[in-house]
Amino acid sequence: MEKQSIKEYMEMYCKMTYGKTVKHATTAEVWSALSTAIMSQIVDRWYVTNKAYKSQKMAFYISAEYLMGRALGNNLINLQEYDQVKDLLKELNINLNEVEEMEEDAALGNGGLGRLAACFMDSSATMHLPVQGYGLRYRNGLFKQCFKNGEQVEEADEWLKYGDPWSIRKEADMVYINFSDMKVKAIPYDVPIIGFGGATINTLRLWQAEPLCEFDFNLYNNQQYDKALEQKNRTEDITRVLYPNDSTEQGKLLRLRQQYFLVSASVQDMVRDFKRRHGNVFDDFAKWHAVQLNDTHPVLAIPEFIRILVDEEGESFEKALGTARKVFAYTNHTILQEALEKWDAYLMQKLFPRIYQIIEQIDAALVQELREKGYSDDRINMYHIIKEGKVHMAHMAIYVGFAINGVAKLHTEILKNTELHHWYELYPYKFQNKTNGITPRRWLVLANQELSSLITEKLGSNEWMMDLSLLKQLTKFVEDDEVLERLQSIKYTKKCQLAECIKAREGIEIDPNSLFDVQVKRLHEYKRQLLNAMYILDLYFRLKENPNLDIPKVTFIFGAKAFPGYYRAKSVIKLILAIGDLINRTPEVKDKIQVVFVTNYSVSYAERIIPAADLSKQISTAGKEASGTGNMKLMLNGAPTFGTYDGANVEIVAESGEENNFIFGLRVEDINNLRNNYNPKEYYDKSPDLKRVLDAFIDGTLDPANTGCFRDLYEALLVGKNWERPDQYYLLADFKAFKAMQDKVFECYKDRRKWAQMSLMNIANSGAFSSDRTIMQYASEIWGISPIS
Ligand code: CR6
- Predicted local confidence at residue 199, as pLDDT: 95
Which residue owns the Cα nearest ligand 1 atom 10? 628
Say yes or no to pLDDT of 1 above 80: no
Which tens digit of pLDDT belongs to each residue from 415-458? 999 999 999 999 999 999 999 999 999 999 999 999 999 999 99
Would residue 358 count as lying in a domain? no
Evaluate whether residue 571 is within a structural domain.
yes
pLDDT tens per residue, range 484-528: 999 999 999 999 999 999 999 999 999 999 999 999 999 999 999
426 and 471, same domain (yes or no): no
pTM (two decimals): 0.98
Task: Reply yes or no on whether 185 is catalytic.
Answer: no
Instruction: Establish whether residue 359 lines the binding site of ligand 1, counting it when its CB lies within 6 angstroms of any ligand atom.
Output: no
Tell me if 18 is assigned to some domain.
no
> Rounded to the nearest 10 degrees, what angle do helices 481-506 and 449-459 cross at?
160
User: Is residue 723 over pLDDT 90?
Assistant: no
CA–centroid distance, 738 to ligand 1, in Å, is 24
Q: Widest CA span of the chain, in angstroms?
A: 82
User: Is the domain of 511 the same as that of 424?
Assistant: no
- For residues 409-419, average pLDDT: 97
Is 390 considered catalytic here?
Answer: no
Spatial CA neighbour of 137 closest among 101, 88, 187: 187
How far is Cα 122 from Cα 106, in angstroms, rounded to an integer? Answer: 15
- Mutation to probe ligand 1, out of 334, 340, 619 (largest number of atoms < 8 A from CB): 334
Domain stop point among 413, 436, 459 = 436
Tell me the per-residue pLDDT of 180-198, one tens digit each, with 9 for 90 and over: 999 999 999 999 999 999 9
Question: Does residue 703 sit in helix, strand or coil?
Answer: coil
pLDDT reading at 246 higher than 90 = no
Handedness of CA 599, 604, 606, 611 (dihedral sign): negative
The CA-to-CA distance between both ends of the chain, in Å, stands at: 22
Q: Are 540 and 582 in contact (CB under 8 A)?
A: yes
Dump pLDDT digits (tens) for 259-297: 999 999 999 999 999 999 999 999 999 999 999 999 999
Regarding whether 659 and 552 lie in a shared domain, the answer is yes
- The response to whether residue 407 sits with its C-beta less than 6 Å from ligand 1 reads yes
Identity of residue 340: L
Q: What is the pLDDT of residue 591?
A: 96
pLDDT at res. 648: 98
Q: Place 721 in a pLDDT band, splitting at 50, 70 and 90.
A: confident
Q: Do 334 and 454 share a structural domain?
A: no
Give the tens place of pLDDT for each residue, 86-103. 999 999 999 999 999 999
Question: Are 425 and 445 in the same domain?
Answer: no
Residue partners of 243: CB distance under 8 A and separation at least 6: 110, 250, 252, 255, 258
The 10s digit of each residue's pLDDT in 4-13 is: 999 999 999 9
Distance 569 CA to ligand 1 centre (A): 17
Whether 177 and 188 have beta carbons less than 8 Å apart is answered as no
Q: Is 608 a catalytic residue?
A: no
Sign of the CA dihedral running 772, 775, 779, 785: negative
Q: Would you say residue 216 has pLDDT above 90?
A: no
Q: Which of 113, 297, 341, 527 to mutate to test the pocket of ligand 1 (most atoms within 8 A of CB)?
A: 113
Region 333-356: what's the mean pLDDT? 94
638: alpha, beta or left, given left = phi > 0 and alpha = psi -120 to 50? left
What's at 463, amino acid-wise?
E
Based on the fold, state whether residues 425 and 451 are members of the same structural domain: no
Strands (E) located in 308-422? 328-331, 342-344, 386-387, 390-392, 403-406
Same domain, 688 and 648: yes
Contact call for residues 584 and 560 (beta carbons, < 8 A) = no
Average pLDDT over residues 690-704: 97
Burial (CB < 10 A; 0-12, 13-18, 19+), residue 694, is: buried
**How many CB atoms are closer than 10 A to CB 397?**
24
Helix and strand element counts for the chain (H, E): 35, 23
Residue 9 lies in a domain: no
Alpha helices in 599-723 (DSSP H): 603-612, 630-636, 649-656, 668-674, 680-686, 688-698, 711-718
Distance 108 CA to ligand 1 centre (A): 15
Atom of ligand 1 nearest to the CA of 411: 9
Structural domain range at position 501: 440-769
Q: What percent of the chain has pLDDT over 70?
A: 100
pLDDT score recorded for residue 217: 78
Is 246 close to ligand 1, i.e. is its CB under 6 Å away? yes
pLDDT at site 228? 78
Q: What is the dihedral of CA 170, 171, 175, 180, to 10 degrees?
A: 120
474 C-alpha to ligand 1 centroid (Å): 30
Q: What is the DSSP string of 270-295?
A: HHHHHHHHHTT-GGGHHHHEEEEEES
Q: Are residues 429 and 513 in the same domain?
A: no
Residue 15 maps to a domain: no
Ligand 1 centre from 332 Cα, in Å? Answer: 9
| pLDDT bracket for residue 351 (50, 70, 90) | very high
Residue 406 forms part of a structural domain: yes
Any atom of ligand 1 within 6 Å of the Cβ of 626: yes
Smallest CA separation from ligand 1 atom 18, residue? 112
Q: In degrees rounded to 5, what are phi and psi of residue 133?
A: -100, 145
Q: What CATH number should be reported for the domain holding residue 604?
A: 3.40.50.2000
Active-site position among 139, 333, 561, 739: 333
The Cα-based distances of 705 to 153, 349, 698, 700, 701 in angstroms read 21, 51, 11, 7, 9
- State yes or no: is 629 an active-site residue: yes
Phi, psi at 209, each rounded to 5°: -85, 130
Q: Which residues pair with 153 in a beta bridge?
A: 146
Query: What pLDDT is recorded for position 114?
Result: 98
Task: Please report, as a single letter, which amino acid is at residue 764.
Answer: A
Question: Which is it for the CA torsion 24, 30, 32, 34, positive or negative?
Answer: positive
In a domain, 499, yes or no: yes
Catalytic residue among 36, 334, 412, 629: 629
CA R_g for the chain: 27
Per-residue confidence (pLDDT) for residue 229, from 0 to 100: 86
How many angstroms is it from 334 CA to the middle of ligand 1? 6
Give me ligand 1 centre to Cα 536, in Å.
Answer: 27
User: In the predicted model, what is the mean pLDDT of residues 139-152?
Assistant: 98
From the CA of 436, give the closest atom in ligand 1: 13
DSSP 8-state symbol, 417: I
Based on the structure, what is the number of domains in the chain? 2
Closest ligand 1 atom to 114 CA: 18
Q: Which of 411, 521, 592, 773 is catalytic?
A: 521
| CA dist 634 → 443, 462, 491, 523 (Å) | 9, 20, 12, 18
Shared domain for 427 and 560, answered yes or no, is no
* Position 522 in a domain: yes
**Are residues 451 and 483 part of one domain?**
yes
Q: Is 641 in the pocket of ligand 1 (CB under 6 A)?
A: no
Position with higher pLDDT, 518 vs 704: 518
Atom index in ligand 1 nearest the CA of residue 629 equals 10
Question: Over the stretch 31-83, which tens digit does the pLDDT of each residue have?
Answer: 999 999 999 999 999 999 999 999 999 999 999 999 999 999 999 999 999 99
3-state secondary structure of 348: helix
Q: Say which DSSP state 544 is in.
A: H
Predicted confidence (pLDDT) per residue in 569-580, tens digit: 999 999 999 999
Residues 450, 428 share a domain:
no
State whether 610 and 579 are in the same domain. Answer: yes
Residue 522 annotated in active site? yes
Position 215 pLDDT exceeds 80: no
Catalytic entry in 297, 411, 491, 527:
527
pLDDT at 225 over 80: no
β-pairing, 390-392 vs 386-387, is antiparallel
CB of 116 shorter than 6 A to ligand 1: yes
Exposed, middle or buried, 405 (CB in 10 Å: 0-12/13-18/19+)?
Answer: buried
Sign of the alpha-carbon torsion through 327, 333, 335, 338: negative
Question: What's the DSSP call for residue 270?
Answer: H
8 A C-beta contact, residue 434 and residue 415: no
Q: Is 521 an annotated catalytic residue?
A: yes
Reference 646, options 625, 665, 664, 671; nearest CA is: 625
